[in-house]
């Protein structure tokens, strides 16, 4: 189980997560928005529809969900995705190193 011990959000640039094993993972804001884990966005991706209509996006607000993850409200009004630390870590390990 990957726990986040430090979180830094640069609203128009990236989310930086430090995990309890010392790994620092950075996620570009645009990639985060495009990979929104909510059911609606997942469905759109499965149909190869762009889940993300704007040309640029930034994080307006973020709310921590305990030890579990972070919810982000985007400048395009979308706010139903909750990004689990565990999920982000798997994504980081698989694609971004």
CB of 43 to Zn ion, least distance (A): 9
CB of 6 to Zn ion, least distance (A): 25
Residues that bind Zn ion (CB under 5 A): 36, 38, 41, 81
Compare residues 18 and 34 and give the one whose CB is closer to Zn ion: 34
Compare residues 19 and 32 and give the one whose CB is closer to Zn ion: 32
Angstrom distance (rounded) from CA 17 to CA 6 = 6
Give the 3-state secondary structure percentages of the chain, helix then strand then coil, rounded to 5: 25, 35, 40
Angstrom distance (rounded) from CA 90 to CA 92 = 5
CB of 32 to Zn ion, least distance (A): 10
């Amino acid at each position: 189980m990957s726990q986040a011990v430090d979180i830094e959000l640069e609203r128009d640039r990236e989310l930086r997560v430090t995990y309890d094993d010392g790994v620092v993972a950075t996620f570009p804001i645009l990639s985060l928005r495009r990979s929104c884990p909510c059911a609606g966005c997942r469905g759109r991706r499965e149909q190869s529809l762009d889940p993300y209509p704007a040309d640029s996006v930034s994080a307006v607000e973020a709310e921590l969900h305990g030890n579990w993850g972070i919810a982000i409200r985007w400048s395009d009004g979308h706010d139903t995705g909750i990004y689990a630390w565990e999920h982000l870590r798997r994504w980081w390990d698989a694609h971004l190193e």
